[in-house]
Amino acid sequence: FGRFNENKRYAILVAHLLTLSQDLIDQAIEIHDRQIMILQSKGRKAQEELQKQNGKSINEKVLHFADIGEALVKARNEELDPFEVLEKIMPWERIVDSIEEAKRLARPMDYDYLDLLVTRFSYLRKYTPVLLSKLEFRTTQASEPLLRALNVLREINNNKKRHIPEGAPLDFVPKRWQKHVYDEDGNINRKYYELAALTELKNHIRSGDIWVAGSRLHKDFEEYLVTKDNWDETKNTGNRLAVGMSAQEYIIERNTALNERLDYILENIDSLEGISIDKSRIRLDRLEKDTPEDAKSLSQTLYNMLPRVKLTDLLIEVSNWTGFDEHLAHASSNRPPKGEEKSIVMATIMAMGTNIGLTKMAEATPGITYHQLANAAQWRLHEDSLSKAQATLVNFQHHLSLSKYWGNGSTSSSDGMRVQVGVSSLHADANPHYGTGKGTTIYRFTSDQFSSFYTKVINTNARDAVHVIDGLLHHESELSIEEHYTDTAGYTDQVFGLSHILGFRFAPRMRDLSDSKLYVMDKSNVYSKIDSILRGKINIKIIQDNYDDVLRLAHSIREGRVSASLILGKLGSYSRQNKMATALREMGRIEKTIFILDYISNETLRRRIQRGLNKGEAMNGLARALFFGKRGELRERGLQDQLQRASALNILINATTVWNTVYLTEATKILKEKGLLKEELLPHISPLGWEHINLLGEYLFDSKKVPKSNELRPLKI
């Protein structure tokens, strides 16, 4: 940095400070988001704990109530003195005691946990005064009351006042909070007023109703999109969307496509194998396995022919073929690694990709120091260089002859691999579905040729669907993906709609198919045999009214103005843009219905999806074998550091796949020359085997380097 000329030095410094400022603001907002979620989670758990502790006593009170009620009914029916009847079943003193205890055990009528949150108020006060004083919040007129409430809290904090002043805004307080915000005397409860405001702040920022000055992830919605003037100039000439600009033409074309599928299903429903429609539910038989037994035998034969290789040698060999390391240029000098630097870079990739870390790699690698590894990790393994190196490996795999048996690079799948995080991290969450402990998810995209062309680290509780478009648009490889597969958790209506607009065929595996709702655009058409599954009608008017805005949104995503994951996360609850979100959802329902009709009528499509997802799951198996260090746990706190490990792992995965494919090609040639190869079995062979690869290195037992029996190694002083 000191060697740069003055202009360059200050320009880089300013850019760094601006980026750092944005990152810190976004992290502050994320911390607040997490703290509110923790607050709510603690409240729910406290309520559950009360239920467990008081369960026996509450049941006793229910029995008392039943006995008292039965006595009163008897007294009325038989015209007896109710007090005498009550005294016979329970002494009066015990009735009074039971009533008092019932009052103590009673929870609010709406059975909320908000009354339990006040004990956690002090935790929020540790940071919220600073949050409100340092960040500048902006909003539209719709959220103005909340913004004024935040200003009131800011003023109270600055002046060290204890009570909410009269006339403080209350319009923002949700109905469920109102009974807590006001105390018994009708005054505003300071703690609950602040809790309500801070909770609503989290909700409004997440939805986009409030944005933060200087933030990258929480800007005004319009700032994410290309300007309307720019869109008007480019929509008829320079846009790269897969649909026309006319809403009417779009509706006519999609209605025709939808009706063609419905007509086909209607005509062939009785002859389609493995499908039945019963009481408004679609039922599909499980697909039988179609992998020939001979394919397993061929795979075993081919892998037995492969030479055993150390992972270090494999990396160097693949780099000689592909030159992927040339893209790991120094961030300052833009110079690729040469000579000894090449070994250092390879060792750094292995340290990151196998998760053993730089310290252990330096100890295990003679001639390479920790400082050299750390320098390479910081200056060469940055996001841009790793993406280019990954694309080089994917492109090399794409052009290998054997990979053509597995696919042509036009289809792909994505799947998440959950990884435990062994340190306190803002980007790690617990999920009971995956067991105990906190973790994150490495979301990986796999092509039909067994190459991993995109990866990102996402929240383990996030829905995969919103990240699908990112991987399809922003990989740097030569692959031209046309059809993409995900598991059930990987789809939403809006992703269906956006995928079609951007020119992708979105094809998730539909495990909940029997509960899926199908839509039509015109209810006047009669589909008697399948009418029971057509339970919805597309809102055509809202598509027509917002068609241009939806296309502007899609164009902004296509041009990289905003990521699909970010904007889709906001659209669902963004009140000012709900019409755009609704229009995209309706367009997605059209595409989802068309897809489901194709899915149930086309066994080939179902098998294609199954094979694609199986490749992704097999890729995760190889990934876990490679990522063996630290018991497969991430120990990095920052998202960028976690992503660096995930990207290095991807380099190892693709290098392994390339090496296996090259050597499997040579093995098939030998079998073919001997007349022992059945080419029809090659599509069922996978290049993801690793039994022949030494992942753990070598241990040398050199007695000459060990001290004599009467000597010890010198201590460090």
* Cα–Cα distance measured from residue 306 to residue 625, given in angstroms and rounded to the nearest whole number: 19
Q: Of 615, 618, 609, which Cα lies nearest the Cα of 683?
A: 615
Q: Are 265 and 256 in contact (CB under 8 A)?
A: no
602-607: long-range contacts (C-beta < 8 A, 24 or more apart)?
A: 603/273, 603/274, 603/287, 605/507, 606/284, 606/287, 607/287, 607/290
Q: Of 483, 478, 455, which Cα lies nearest the Cα of 393?
A: 478
242: DSSP letter: S
Residue 46 has pLDDT above 60, yes or no: yes
Give burial (CB, 10 Å; 0-12/13-18/19+) of 108.
exposed
Residue 512 has pLDDT above 80, yes or no: no
* Cα–Cα distance measured from residue 433 to residue 363, given in angstroms and rounded to the nearest whole number: 38
Q: Are 95 and 21 in contact (CB under 8 A)?
A: no
CA distances from 232 to 245, 318, 498, 550, 573 (A): 11, 48, 20, 13, 27
pLDDT at 108: 60
* Cα–Cα distance measured from residue 235 to residue 250, given in angstroms and rounded to the nearest whole number: 15
486: DSSP letter: E
pLDDT at 577: 57
pLDDT digits (tens, 9 = 90+) for 85-131: 888 888 888 888 888 888 777 766 556 778 778 888 888 999 999 99
| Strand boundaries in 175-250, DSSP class E | 210-212
List CB contacts of 239: < 8 A, sequence separation 6 or more.
Answer: 551, 555, 558
Average pLDDT, the chain: 89
Angle at CA 348, nearest 5°, toward 307 and 660? 25
Q: Provide the residue type at 69 as one letter.
A: G
pLDDT digits (tens, 9 = 90+) for 626-666: 999 999 999 999 889 999 999 999 999 999 999 999 999 99
Q: Which two tokens stand for residue 1?
A: 């940095």
pLDDT digits (tens, 9 = 90+) for 272-300: 877 877 767 788 888 888 889 899 999 99
Ranking 50-64, 190-204, 476-490, 674-688 by mean pLDDT, the lowest is: 50-64
Mean pLDDT for 188-203 is 92
pLDDT digits (tens, 9 = 90+) for 558-572: 999 999 999 988 886
* Cα–Cα distance measured from residue 118 to residue 189, given in angstroms and rounded to the nearest whole number: 11
pLDDT at 323: 96
Q: What distance, in Å, lies between the first and last C-alpha atoms of the chain?
A: 35
Q: Which residue has the tokens 């929020």?
A: 124
Q: Provide the residue type at 94 as one letter.
A: R
CA distances from 603 to 257, 516, 613, 616 (A): 19, 18, 15, 20
Angle at CA 609, nearest 5°, toward 291 and 691? 50
Helix (H) or strand (E) holding 380: none
* Cα–Cα distance measured from residue 297 to residue 74, given in angstroms and rounded to the nearest whole number: 81
* Cα–Cα distance measured from residue 168 to residue 425, given in angstroms and rounded to the nearest whole number: 37
pLDDT at 654: 98
Q: Which two tokens stand for residue 169?
A: 């805004």
pLDDT at 428: 85
CA 127 to chain centre: 28
Confidence at 419, pLDDT banded by 50, 70, 90: very high
Q: Are 25 and 212 in contact (CB under 8 A)?
A: yes
DSSP assignment of 132-146, as one string? HHH--EEE-GGGHHH
- Across the chain, which distance is largest between two alpha carbons, in Å? 107
CA distances from 362 to 55, 356, 358, 702, 716 (A): 58, 10, 6, 19, 18
SS3 331: coil
* Cα–Cα distance measured from residue 63 to residue 68, given in angstroms and rounded to the nearest whole number: 9
Residue 183 has pLDDT above 80, yes or no: no
What torsion do the CA atoms of 62, 66, 68, 72 make, to the nearest 10 degrees? 150
Confidence at 175, pLDDT banded by 50, 70, 90: confident
pLDDT at 441: 93
pLDDT at 244: 93
What sign has the CA pseudo-torsion 557, 491, 205, 634? Answer: negative
Give burial (CB, 10 Å; 0-12/13-18/19+) of 382.
middle
DSSP assignment of 68-104, as one string? HHHHHHHHHHTT--HHHHHHHHS-HHHHHHHHHHHHH
Mean pLDDT for 507-521 is 83
Q: Are 410 and 491 in contact (CB under 8 A)?
A: no
DSSP helix, strand, coil percent of the chain (3-state; round to 5)? 60, 10, 30
Mean pLDDT for 366-370 is 94
pLDDT digits (tens, 9 = 90+) for 420-447: 999 988 878 887 777 778 899 999 999 9
Backbone angles phi, psi at 689, to 5 degrees: -70, 150
pLDDT at 180: 85
pLDDT digits (tens, 9 = 90+) for 137-155: 998 777 899 999 999 999 9
